[in-house]
């Protein structure tokens, strides 16, 4: 499964020529955890995403959207046969 948020964070970080440890230090987490977030092996908290967006001067809404998309995908991947129908119901309810 693709980790959209992690890929975007890495892309933004590399564009600014920042080291993983610099972003980790800003979040007050160890470099290993930040690496796992970028690789999609660990999920960032919502507050961490907001902090990353601020530090990288990135679009907070875009990063939060990617964060939520990753959360949704990781939840529904376990039930692929019913996921599509569940998403249709959720989408219909969100439009109200």
> How many Cβ atoms from other residues are within 10 Å of residue 4's Cβ?
17
The residue with greater pLDDT, 36 or 95, is 36
Q: Note every long-range contact of 27-36, with CB atoms under 8 Å and residues 24 or more positions apart, other chains counting.
A: 27/51, 27/52, 27/55
Q: For position 58, what pLDDT does the model report?
A: 97
Domain count across the chain: 1
Residue 73: give its domain's CATH number: 1.10.260.40
Q: For position 2, what pLDDT does the model report?
A: 66
Residues 35-85 have pLDDT tens digits of 999 999 999 999 999 999 999 999 999 999 999 999 988 888 878 788 888
Domain interval for residue 15: 4-95
Residues 15-26 have pLDDT tens digits of 999 999 999 999
CA 78 → CA 20, 42, 67, distances in Å? 31, 17, 18
């Amino acid at each position: 499964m693709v980790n959209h948020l992690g890929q975007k964070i890495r892309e933004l970080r590399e564009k600014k020529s920042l080291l993983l440890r610099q972003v980790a230090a800003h979040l007050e987490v160890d470099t290993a955890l930040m690496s796992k977030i970028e690789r999609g092996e660990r999920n960032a908290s919502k507050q961490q995403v907001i902090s990353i967006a601020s530090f990288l001067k990135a679009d907070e809404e875009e990063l939060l959207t990617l964060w939520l998309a990753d959360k949704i995908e990781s939840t529904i991947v376990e039930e692929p046969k019913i996921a599509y129908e569940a998403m249709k119901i959720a989408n219909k309810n969100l439009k109200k």
